[in-house]
Structure 1
Amino acid sequence: MRAAVKAGLTLAVHRSGLASALSRRYGGAGTIFMLHSVVENGAFYPDRGLRCPTAQLDAILTMLRRRGIALVSLDEAVSRLRDPRPGRFASFTFDDGFDDNLSRALPVMERHGAPFTVYVATGMITGDLDAWWLGLAALIRSRDVIALPDGTAFACNDAPSKVAAFDAIERAIHRRYELLPAIRDMIAAAGLDLPGLVRAEGLTLERLRRLAEHPLATIGAHGTTHINLARAPEDVAREEMAANRAFLEAAIGRPVRHFAYPFGNARACGPREERLAEAVGFETAVTTRHGAVFPDHLHHLYALPRESLSVHDTPHTVACKLSGFYRAVYSRLGAPVSHLGSDAAGDRP
């Protein structure tokens, strides 16, 4: 229902011309897009909001090319903020370090000559990632009913209800991170091997190096174990960033200059984490908050907004994201549009 309402709204906004009108105020210089896993067309995943089919990624890139939007690396995006030029740009980023970023995303990006950044968590390679969302998806796959500790139950006996259950539980966790220990206990009690699930989907060291060698790819950092940095002591948050950067630089033999905050919403990163990212030596850091990027973001390079892309997106939702529609919707009246994006949908891992 949520997806249907959203699709109908974005279709109306796009066709009415409102998206184009908003873009003059909210569209900025360009958009940084966020993806996670890229999957085969037609494959089913309960966590489908974290997955983008290859055909859909191809269609989005085709659409951007037809609209005359330049597909640029993250470094080029920052350069264009410093030295503005005609036309808008799009930069693509992929979080976590899924192996399918190499096996499925890369061939699509190659066809379009589209640079991209992959933010890799150390634990995605070692199996130590706190990837509770993968465990939750596996749990939902195996059950017809999921009950939370507070007694809330979710029927999940078919594909649509499994997707709905995952989305509802994920939203509940991001509202109350105190639920996570119980979710982890449920995953363990079901006998699910979380490190095994991570290793099955994550890059290996060899595959990471192969990806890093590709001229279109940039490797960024995403923390050691993908914890909520804002809820961690400062020394732990700093070590999550610094150790991850050191691990990746040793693995690929080149500097790692860009960082993505795990979860990336206002409850997971803020001014302290921005200061830490700069102190550790990163040149940029991205959030999951809505919004385009503006020249003013040169003063906020450790709080860059992004727009997510997944199986839920249509040409109309992409057009709305390019125009800054979601930023406009979630902005408080009178908030400066050239500053930071909103936090209304920054809940994806």
Structure 2
Amino acid sequence: MSYFIQNLRRFAGELLEDPVGGPARVAAALKVKWKTGLEQALGSSGMGRRLAARYRGRGVVLMFHEIHDDVEGNLRMGCSPEQLRMVLAALRAESRDIVTPDEAVKRLADPQAGDFAVLTFDDGYRDNRTMALPILEEFSAPMTMFVPTGMVTREVYAWWLGLRALFQRGDEVEIEAMERRFTLADAPSRNAALRQIGLWIGTDRARAEALNPTFARHAISIPALVDKVAMDEREIRSFADHPLVTIGGHTTTHTFLSGLDDAAAYRDINDNKLYLENLLDRPVRHFAYPYGTEGACGKREAEYVKAAGFETGFTTRSGHLFPAHLSTPCLMPREDAGFAHMSNSQLANRLSGARRALVTKFGDPVAGLR
């Protein structure tokens, strides 16, 4: 009940603070909460598994980012070690083998092969080694880490890390580019503000870069933040030598590929592959789009991923893997399992296929082919 009252107060504050834009934001928030409630109901009742029978594929690719103990202190960017362990236990209970992307492709082509899951971790965070790897070792579970060049060289414009640092500093923040002032009274208001800024940015690189003056005014150094959380070249080389680890590509600049012209988009993909292969002295065969929604990547980007020599490309579009995906291996879906805090019901829906059914309103089970 207290959580319900908190939300009512926050929505009322939104309306008073911004009578023009507030109603739209409140409506969007209520829509999200309605969808979350429906997802919880389906997962907890078992109805989701029955409704999603046609959405359950041979495999499922799960996406994570940061793994850390202080989930709330880090504004729910990433998830806890306990959540990762929960996911691994659920996969074991479902008798899904945890495999590499190479093995996943082989199994999709083999009707007799068992069901499987692939664990992917984006961006090259240091805690993937210190926090996630020991848990993966407990389960003998392989993982693939998709690494952008700029995270390793400290040249990436990690605006999301800048926002987190900004929101951790005070109880009120002005985002000049949005002409908005956010009151950050508690964790829900901080998380809501982050969502609003993310929706405002969308897939617009210019809007993300428009946050730079705000970061500068608060003396926030993006390279310093990246250096604090991301592996460097020495760490990446050492990590890649672990028998459970596969390193994949994730572009050079971690930008919205759809916003680049043809030459720049291909270069951002290809140069990352060359950089990682030179650093690791081995082939890098798999790729993930840094922003994998339909507005951020599509057929053009998939062609560039293929032309660069990658064998697979993973989006962030909800769905399981089916043999049909072998015809478009550079547009394979992933399910987000690394957001905080994921309930047992939400995890069940991702593993059953019910999440895809909800997202598409019971549309095409096979994601990413168009």
TM-score by length of 2: 0.86
User: What is the identity, as a one-letter code, of the residue corresponding to 1:318?
Assistant: L
Mark the structure with the bigger radius of gyration: 2
Partner of 1:346: none
User: What is the identity, as a one-letter code, of the residue corresponding to 2:156?
Assistant: L
| Cα deviation, residue 157, structure 1 | 3.0
| Cα deviation, residue 181, structure 1 | 2.8
| Cα deviation, residue 66, structure 1 | 1.5
Distance 1:228 1:25 in 2: 32
User: What is the identity, as a one-letter code, of the residue corresponding to 2:63?
Assistant: M
Distance 2:141 2:39 in 1: 26
Distance 1:328 1:262 in 2: 24
RMSD: 2.0
- Gaps spanning 5+ residues in structure 2: where? 1-6, 8-28
| Cα deviation, residue 326, structure 1 | 2.2
Count of residues in Structure 1 that have an aligned counterpart in Structure 2: 339
Residues 1:295 and 2:323 are matched in the alignment:
yes
Q: 1:277 to 1:55 in 2, by over 3 A?
A: same
Residues 1:225 and 2:253 are matched in the alignment:
yes
Partner of 2:110: 83
Aligned residue for 2:263, secondary structure, equals: helix
Distance 2:200 2:164 in 1: 15
Q: 1:201 to 1:299 in 2, by over 3 A?
A: same
Residues 1:16 and 2:45 are matched in the alignment:
yes
Distance 1:71 1:6 in 2: 29
Partner of 1:345: none
Distance 1:99 1:83 in 2: 36
Q: 1:6 to 1:336 in 2, by over 3 A?
A: closer
Residues 1:40 and 2:69 are matched in the alignment:
yes
User: What is the identity, as a one-letter code, of the residue corresponding to 2:79?
Assistant: C
Per-residue CA deviation, residues 148-181 of structure 1 (Å, 9 max, x unaligned), is 3343332113333222211221122116554223
Aligned residue for 2:119, secondary structure, equals: strand
Residues 1:264 and 2:292 are matched in the alignment:
yes
**Contact in 2 for aligned 1:22/1:323 (Cα 8 Å):** no
Aligned residue for 2:303, secondary structure, equals: helix
User: What is the identity, as a one-letter code, of the residue corresponding to 1:23?
Assistant: A
Residues 1:306 and 2:334 are matched in the alignment:
yes
**2:90 equivalent among 43, 47, 63:** 63
**1:322 equivalent among 348, 351, 364:** 351
**Contact in 1 for aligned 2:203/2:256 (Cα 8 Å):** no
**1:202 equivalent among 214, 217, 230:** 230
**Contact in 2 for aligned 1:145/1:156 (Cα 8 Å):** yes
Q: 1:248 to 1:41 in 2, by over 3 A?
A: same
Per-residue CA deviation, residues 250-306 of structure 1 (Å, 9 max, x unaligned), is 111110001111111112111110010000000000101111111100011010110
**Contact in 2 for aligned 1:292/1:341 (Cα 8 Å):** no
Aligned residue for 2:118, secondary structure, equals: strand
Counting only pairs closer than 5 Å after superposition, residues 147-296 of structure 1 correspond to structure 2 as 147-148=174-175, 149-174=177-202, 177-296=205-324
User: What is the identity, as a one-letter code, of the residue corresponding to 1:299?
Assistant: S
- Gaps spanning 5+ residues in structure 1: where? 343-349
**Contact in 2 for aligned 1:285/1:301 (Cα 8 Å):** yes
Residues 1:110 and 2:144 are matched in the alignment:
no
Aligned residue for 2:62, secondary structure, equals: strand
User: What is the identity, as a one-letter code, of the residue corresponding to 2:250?
Assistant: H
**Contact in 2 for aligned 1:290/1:341 (Cα 8 Å):** no
Per-residue CA deviation, residues 161-216 of structure 1 (Å, 9 max, x unaligned), is 22221122112211655422321221122110101101111111111011100111
**Contact in 1 for aligned 2:203/2:296 (Cα 8 Å):** no
